[in-house]
Chain A
């Protein structure tokens, strides 16, 4: 066989003494990386007669794909729904800080806001690769609102909530200004003409998510048939499960999902937004659809006290965040790695399952699992070194170390 001499001079790194998440399980294998991608060492050996230039001892750590957070509203004092002059540096700050939580890609999320905010903010969000500067924005922003239900607004400002009953998609486009860098839109499917809007968004490659809604199960199923593939923070801001009309929650076991399609559902597993028993019910009903999200707000990473979330003021007390002066939950301050650990503990699932819920599943939701969310050969080398209790020890993007836990940190 002619040798496939696609030899590159780029250095080859071999991560040894580790367990890698591959093929849905942790395997005692080495991870080989070249030019920012995961390399097939057997092919390297036989085709290129190549070997590693550098060996790194991972001291028994777990190597898992980098986490992907598809719902994060800000953090460290930065609020993505606030149109400030230095919005760009705000995004940069958050993307850099979340590396320590194991997040290598994220979708900056905007809550319900007036059109002026979208018009100012969206052009400042661009798809970009991650690196030492921070996690990547691979797919675009997540627009959670304003086309939601007033009854299930949660912490979203009521005066900004809108409908698209008049001009359907045109109303949506006028509100947002541009969809160039938008990847997910959360809307309430019971709003009239939602089917057209969902179809149009889906056609443009935008993932439609159902949330902040009082839809019943048939409305939710119809939305899925028109293209919706995600549920925003399951259980929160939607009708509770009822045995004669399970509502949006019923999508987890619906038999009306088009063949070959999977409905994913976001879950804030911070121990506050969802009772562990409810988390377990969802996980057991539809384990392959679980997508862990933080729904983190500006106060994440900051001391307790008051912070803004879009047009509202919120109050942080420990892991709880409420609209100031109320008991309405508003986003969370949990970090992604905390959510993964809590999910593992609450459901008693395997380490592989917990890790996949934060990496493989969001990648599948966004349709990028050929490059992200796994440690398969030829995937981008975005990965984490974790200890056995899933604390992030180091974060790598494109094979380069972009964050490492200080040995002195407790």
Chain B
């Protein structure tokens, strides 16, 4: 793996955005040959999205020939609810760029048959030729997407019940009222993300430090599902100084050197 350590959140966001931007530009996507991007939600990638929007507005980056696949979506939340991941992606990304709406794929948490929806999503990824670059984050409990502790490391897109840690972390987006937080979500599996040709995990903040330690300095373990990427041929972890607080000095020095 590569571990890229930047000084703070803003620099980490910018580094990640530049990397994505360069990847797309180098790929030279065109009609019939799209660049496929896997995308996350949450607080961590907001800075990265802002930068990508900036590059687009400067005329340096177009999403015309980019297909996106989001990692997850809540079950049972109306699509236009301000906390749904559809709303998040529209407000924080899609409305500011030139992506074709037909190429922006997000799981539908209100589909009549949720498993059919998940299977169809896997099929769409396959039809798009697989994911070129999957961008993800990490939960405080080391999960990737909603693959909570205990999720199979070969899992595919499916319905998941959310862990208490996740529900507590999300409560702040629902007026602090635990009863309002969705308890289930559709999520890509660990296996789904592992299939991507390249993976980039964004990790910032001291509260994620322990999860990062478990993910890269301990063994591959289904209780810390991000650890699965130790076995992926091309993974980059992008983090800020605070996120490295639980790592060994030796590890940090090695990757900084």
Chain A partners chain B: yes
Shortest B96–chain A CB gap in Å is 10
Contact B100 A46 (CB under 8 A): no
Residue of A nearest to B86 (CB): A46
Q: Does A41 contact B (CB under 8 A)?
A: yes
Interface residue B31 (Cβ < 8 Å from any Cβ of A): no
Report A58 CB to chain B, min CB distance, Å.
16
User: Are the C-beta atoms of B101 and A45 separated by less than 8 Å?
Assistant: yes
Of the four ranges (under 10, 10 to 19, 20 to 34, 35 or more), the interface on chain B belongs to 10 to 19
Does A25 sit at the interface, judged by CB under 8 A? no
Contact check, A42 vs B95: say whether CB atoms are below 8 A apart.
yes
The 8 Å CB contact of B80, one of A42, A49, A50, is A42
A46 to B73, CA, bound (A): 14
Q: Is the CB of B108 within 8 A of A1?
A: yes
Residue of B at shortest CB range from A46? Answer: B86
Chain B residues with CB below 8 A from A1, complex form: 79, 108, 110-112
**With an 8 A cutoff between CB atoms, is A350 at the interface?**
no
Which of chain B's residues has its CB closest to A50's CB? Answer: B101
Cross-chain contact A46 with B90 (CB below 8 angstroms):
yes
Chain A residues with CB below 8 A from B104, complex form: 45
Chain A residues touching B, range = 10 to 19
Complex alpha-carbon distance, A49 and B99, angstroms: 11
Taking the complex as formed, is B87 at the interface, i.e. its CB lies under 8 A from any CB of chain A? yes
B94, CB-defined interface residue at 8 Å: yes
Chain B 52-95, CB within 8 Å of chain A: the 1/0 string?
00000000000000000000000000011000001100110011
In Å, the complex CA distance between A41 and B94 comes to: 11
Most B C-beta atoms less than 10 A away, residue of A44, A45, A46, A50: A46
B90 in contact with A51 (CB, 8 Å) = no
Using Cβ atoms and an 8 Å threshold, which residues of chain A touch B94? 45
Nearest residue, chain A, Cβ from B117? A1
The answer to whether B100 and A30 have CB atoms under 8 Å apart is no
Q: How far is the CB of A60 from chain B (nearest CB, A)?
A: 15
Pairwise interchain contact A51-B100, C-beta atoms closer than 8 A:
yes
* Cβ-based interface call for B30 (8 A): no
Indicate if A43 sits at the interface (CB-CB under 8 A). Answer: yes
Question: Whole-angstrom distance between the alpha carbons of A51 and B90 in the complex?
Answer: 13
Q: Find the B residue at minimum CB distance from A40.
A: B80
**Interchain CA distance A392-B187 in the complex, whole Å:** 50
Q: Decide: A45 near B111, CB < 8 A? Known: A30-B95, A51-B101.
A: no
The answer to whether A45 and B110 touch (CB under 8 A), given A51-B100, A51-B101, is no
A46 touches B79 (CB 8 A): yes
- Alpha-carbon separation in the docked complex, A43 to B91 (Å): 12
- Tell me the minimal C-beta distance from A59 to chain B in angstroms: 16
Q: Min CB distance, B116 to chain A, in Å?
A: 12
Q: For chain B, residues 82 to 141, give those with C-beta under 8 angstroms from any C-beta of chain A.
A: 86-87, 90-91, 94-95, 100-102, 104, 106, 108, 110-112
> Within 8 Å CB of A45, what residues of B?
90, 94-95, 101, 104
Contact A43 B80 (CB under 8 A): yes
A49 near B86 with CB under 8 A, answer: no
User: B87, B102, B108, B111: which contacts A42 (Cβ < 8 A)?
Assistant: B87
Contact with B along A19-36 (1 / 0, CB 8 A): 000000000001000000
Nearest opposing residue in chain A for B98, CB measure: A51
Most chain A beta-carbon contacts within 10 A, residue among B94, B101, B110, B111: B101
User: Is the CB–CB distance between B101 and A46 below 8 Å?
Assistant: yes
Which chain B residues border A51 with CB–CB below 8 Å? 100-101
Q: How far is the CA of A46 from the CA of B79 in the complex (A)?
A: 9
Min Cβ gap A106→B in Å is 35
Bound together, the chains give a CA A1 to CA B110 distance in angstroms of 6
Min CB–CB distance B46 → chain A (angstroms): 16
Separation of A194 and B120 alpha carbons in the complex (Å) = 69
| Closest partner residue, chain B, to A49 (CB atom) | B101
Give the docked Cα–Cα distance between A242 and B104 (Å).
65
Query: Nearest chain A CB to B256's CB is how many angstroms away?
Result: 39
> Chain A nearest CB: distance from B244 CB in Å?
36
Within 8 A of B (CB), among A338-357: none
Q: Is the CB of A42 within 8 A of B90?
A: yes
Least CB distance from A105 to B in Å reads 29
Chain B residues with Cβ under 8 A from A30's Cβ? 95
CA distance in complex: A41, B97 (Å) = 13
Q: State the CA gap A30–B80 with chains docked (Å).
A: 18
Chain A, residue nearest B95 (CB): A41
Say how far A343's CB is from chain B's closest CB, in angstroms. 33
Q: Complex Cα distance A138/B84, Å? A: 38
Give the residues in chain A near B86, CB-CB below 8 Å: 42, 46
A44 closest partner in B (C-beta): B101
Query: Which chain B residues border A41 with CB–CB below 8 Å?
Result: 90, 95
Q: How far is the CB of B74 from chain A (nearest CB, A)?
A: 14
Q: Which residues of A contact B112 (CB under 8 A)?
A: 1
> Can you list 6 A-B pairs with a CB-CB distance of less than 8 A?
A42-B86, A42-B90, A42-B95, A45-B95, A48-B101, A49-B100
Chain A to chain B: the 8 pairs with minimum beta-carbon distance, closest first: A49-B101, A42-B90, A45-B101, A49-B102, A1-B108, A1-B110, A1-B111, A46-B86
Give the interface of B toward A (CB within 8 A). 79-80, 86-87, 90-91, 94-95, 100-102, 104, 106, 108, 110-112
A contacts, CB < 8 Å to B = 1, 30, 41-46, 48-51
11 additional contacts, CB 8 Å, given A30-B95, A42-B95? A1-B111, A41-B90, A41-B95, A43-B80, A45-B94, A45-B101, A48-B101, A49-B100, A49-B101, A49-B102, A50-B101
